[in-house]
Amino acid sequence: MSDISNIIQLTDVRKVYGNDGITTEVLHGIDLTLQQGEFTALIGPSGSGKSTLLNIIGLLEQSTSGIIQVQGRETGALSDEELTLLRGRSIGFVFQFHHLIPAFSALENVMMPLMLEAGRPLAAQRERATALLTRVGLADRLDFKPAKLSGGQQQRVAIARALAANPPLILADEPTGNLDTASADEIFKLLYEVNQESGTTFLIVTHDPRLAHRCRRVVELVDGRIVV
């Protein structure tokens, strides 16, 4: 029952840490579907398994059991190489701590997913990265190294980078967790606008109930189970 408009479909996904001796089951049979264009918040207390779930959806971590489909494609049998390729094409990441590469300028950081896909820098990538940085309001900071940018600016670069390869899904892990309220509001607004403009699906992990309530859908995770 895979539907192409389902960007992500999880069926009975479990995650168990530790193998011999003490094992901890972090996720207990998660069923979750994200459809094209959805803007979803993932909330829950610390230790509820939010990050693990996000990593599994982002194909950074393997589930212990269950089915994960990305745009209708089953990922269980894919090799590490294939998963990497699928991840690069389908999923953009925005992390809490910006995670830009310090040795590269803002422009080059945004170009990075494109360069990785094409294998080399190209003029077209430069144009797209410039357009994206202009879109997030950093047209005058193209050649700045991350260290020269403020926290909010770095997060804008990270968002531009997540958008670069035009992935259908963007996963954001506490994207505003490290910012002051004003910057956090701006970043959140930017994510929302991008969602409206491009129809990109967003899954945003947040602690901030104020932000969560502004999302159209809220998924709450408690003790490894979805409660809403």
Rounded Cα distance, 24 and 3, in Å:
33
Verify binding: residue 177, other proteins, rule CB under 8 A. Answer: no
The two three-digit tokens of residue 93, written as one number: 């990441």
Of the candidate spans 33-41, 84-92, 127-135, 193-201, the one that interacts with other proteins by CB under 8 A turns out to be 84-92
Q: Judged by CB under 8 A, which of 23, 73, 101, 227 binds other proteins?
A: 101
Count the neighbouring beta carbons within 10 Å of the beta carbon of residue 112: 19
Total number of residues binding other proteins (CB under 8 A)? 31
Q: What's the closest the beta carbon of residue 75 comes to other proteins, in angstroms? A: 14
Q: Is 144 in the site for other proteins (CB under 8 A)?
A: no
Q: Is 21 in the site for other proteins (CB under 8 A)?
A: no
Residue given tokens 């953009």 in the structure block: 92
Are 11 and 172 in contact, with CB atoms under 8 Å apart?
A: no
- Long-range contact pairs involving 137-143 (C-beta distance under 8 Å, separation at least 24): 138/106, 141/106, 142/105, 142/106, 142/107, 143/105, 143/106, 143/107
Nearer to other proteins, 58 or 152 (CB): 58
* CB neighbourhood size of 164 (10 A): 23
Q: Would you count residue 142 as binding other proteins (CB under 8 A)? A: no
The residue within the footprint of other proteins, chosen from 33, 36, 84, 130 (CB under 8 A), is: 84
Give the footprint of other proteins on this chain (CB under 8 A). Answer: 55, 58, 60-61, 80-81, 84-85, 87-89, 93, 95, 97, 99-104, 112-113, 115-121, 161, 165
